[in-house]
Chains A and B, each alone.
Chain A
Amino acid sequence: MPERYYGIRHHGPGSARAVVQELERHPPEVLLVEGPPEADELVRWVGDRGLEPPVALLGYAADDPRRAAFWPFAVFSPEWQAIRWAVDHGVPVRFFDLPFAYRVSAGANRRPPTGPAAQPDPGTQLDPAAQPDPAENEPGAALEVPGPGGDEPDSRPEPLRPVDPIGELAAAAGYDDPERWWEDVVEHRGMPAFEAIAEAMTAIRDTSPEDPEDLVREAYMRTVLREVRRTHDDIAVVCGAWHVPALTRKVAVKDDTALLKGRRKGKVAFTWVPWTYGRLASWSGYGAGVRSPGWYHHLFSTGDDVVPRWLVDAARVLRAEGVPTSSAHVIEATRLAEALAAMRGRPLAGLAEVTEAAEAVMCDGERLRVELIDRRLVVGERLGGVPDDMPAVPLARDLAAQQRTLRLKPEALERVLDLDLRREIDLGRSRLLHRLRTLDVSWGEPDSGRRGTGTFREQWRLRWQPEFAVRLVEGSMYGTTVAAAATAKVTDAARRATSLAEVTALVEVCLLADLADAYPPVLSALDARAALDADINHLMAAIPALARTLRYGDVRRTDVAGLSTLTASLLVRVCAGLPSAVGSLSDDAAKELRGHLDGVHAAVALLDDDDLRDRWLATLASVAVRADLHGLLAGRLTRLLLDAGRLDAAEVRRRLRLPLTTGTPPAHAAAWVEGFLSGGGLLLVHDDELLELLDDWLADIADDVFGDVLPLLRRTFGAFASGERRAIGERVAGDRGARRSADATTLDHVRAATVLPTLGALLGRDLHIREAR
Chain B
Amino acid sequence: MTALRPHAEDQYADELALLAAADDRPRPPGWRLSPSAVVTYLLGDGAKITPKYVGPRRLVEVAVSTLVTDRALLLLGVPGTAKTWVSEHLAAAISGDSTLLVQGTAGTAEEAIRYGWNYARLLADGPTDAALVPSPVMRAMQTGGIVRVEELTRVPSDVQDALITVLSEKTLPVPELNTEVQAQRGFNLIATANDRDRGVNELSSALRRRFNTVVLPLPESADAEVEIVARRVAQLGKSLDLPEVPAALDEIRRVVTIFRELRSGLTEDGRTKLKSPTGTLSTAEAISVITSGMALAAHFGDGTLHSADVASGILGAVVKDPASDAVVWREYLETVVRERPEWRDFYRAARDA
Contacts and interface: CB of A to CB of B under 8 A. Distances in A.
A341 to B, nearest CB: 9
Nearest to B327: A580
Contact of A532 (B64, B275, B327, B334): B275
B212 A332 contact: yes
Interface string A505-543: 000000000000000000000011111101000000000
Nearest to B35: A343
Contacts of B35: 343
A324 B205 contact: yes
A343 B335 contact: no
B327 A336 contact: no
A335 B69 contact: yes
Given A339-B69, A532-B273, A576 B62 contact: no
Given A531-B275, A532-B273, A577-B331, A340 B65 contact: yes
Contacts of A532: 265, 273, 275
21 contacts: A329-B209, A336-B65, A336-B71, A339-B65, A339-B68, A339-B69, A340-B62, A343-B35, A343-B64, A357-B62, A359-B213, A360-B66, A360-B212, A364-B213, A365-B213, A530-B273, A531-B275, A532-B275, A572-B335, A576-B335, A580-B326
Given A332-B212, A360-B213, A365-B213, A340 B61 contact: yes
Interface in B34-71: 35-36, 39, 58, 61-62, 64-66, 68-69, 71
B209 A328 contact: yes
A343 B65 contact: yes
Given A360-B66, A365-B76, A531-B273, A336 B212 contact: yes
A318 B212 CA distance: 16
Contact of B62 (A324, A356, A572): A356
Most buried by A among B62, B71, B215, B326: B62
A575 B323 CA distance: 16
Contacts of B334: 572, 575-576
A534 B278 CA distance: 13
B206 to A, nearest CB: 11
Nearest to A324: B205
A361 B212 contact: yes
B163 interface: no
A549 interface: no
Contacts of B68: 339, 343
Given A343-B68, A365-B74, 20 more contacts: A332-B71, A336-B62, A336-B71, A340-B61, A343-B36, A344-B61, A352-B58, A359-B62, A360-B62, A360-B213, A360-B214, A365-B213, A531-B265, A531-B273, A531-B275, A532-B275, A534-B324, A573-B335, A576-B330, A577-B331
Interface in A345-391: 352, 356-357, 359-361, 363-367
B305 to A, nearest CB: 29
Contacts of A577: 327, 331
B20 interface: no
A569 interface: yes
Contacts of A530: 273
B320 interface: no
Contacts of B74: 365
A465 interface: no
B69 A580 contact: no
A498 interface: no
Interface string A563-586: 000000100110111001000000
Contacts of B205: 324
Nearest to B333: A576
A343 B61 contact: yes
Nearest to B205: A324
A531 B327 CA distance: 12
Interface of B: 35-36, 39, 58, 61-62, 64-66, 68-69, 71, 74, 76, 205, 208-209, 212-215, 265, 272-275, 323-324, 326-327, 330-331, 334-335
Given A356-B58, A576-B327, A576-B334, A365 B272 contact: no
A364 B327 contact: no
A326 interface: yes
A550 B323 CA distance: 34
Which 6 pairs between the two chains have the least Cβ-Cβ distance?
A: A531-B273, A365-B213, A365-B215, A360-B212, A339-B65, A528-B273
Contacts of A363: 213
A615 to B, nearest CB: 10
A335 B66 CA distance: 9
A326 B212 CA distance: 14
B90 to A, nearest CB: 14
A363 B71 CA distance: 15
A46 B124 CA distance: 89
Contact of A531 (B66, B69, B274): B274
Interface in A279-327: 324, 326
Contacts, number: 87
Interface in A562-621: 569, 572-573, 575-577, 580
Contacts of A356: 58, 61-62
A324 to B, nearest CB: 7
A694 to B, nearest CB: 37
Contacts of A344: 61
Residue among A360, A363, A530 facing the most chain B CB atoms (10 A cut-off) = A360
Contacts of B324: 534
A198 B39 CA distance: 37
B266 to A, nearest CB: 8
Contacts of A324: 205
A357 B58 CA distance: 11
B214 A576 contact: no
Contacts of A569: 272, 335
Contacts of B273: 527-532
Contacts of B215: 365-367
A529 B215 CA distance: 28
- The CB with the most chain B CB atoms within 10 A, among A324, A361, A363, A572, is that of A361
Contacts of A531: 265, 272-275
A317 B169 CA distance: 30
A534 B275 contact: yes
Nearest to A583: B323
Nearest to B59: A356
Nearest to B267: A531
A336 B209 contact: no
A469 B62 CA distance: 50
A303 to B, nearest CB: 26
Nearest to A341: B65
B277 to A, nearest CB: 12
A226 B189 CA distance: 69
Contacts of A357: 62
A528 B264 CA distance: 13
Nearest to B68: A339
Interface centre among B35, B65, B272, B323 (most CB of A within 10 A): B65
A502 to B, nearest CB: 16
A356 B60 CA distance: 11
A328 B213 CA distance: 15
A573 B331 contact: yes
Nearest to B34: A343
Contacts of B58: 352, 356
A365 B214 contact: yes
B81 to A, nearest CB: 12
B143 to A, nearest CB: 24
A573 B326 CA distance: 13
A531 B266 CA distance: 9
B196 to A, nearest CB: 14
Contacts of A572: 334-335
A504 to B, nearest CB: 16
Contacts of B62: 336, 340, 356-357, 359-360
A580 B323 contact: yes
A505 to B, nearest CB: 19
Nearest to B276: A532
A580 B62 CA distance: 46
Contacts of A366: 215
A308 to B, nearest CB: 15
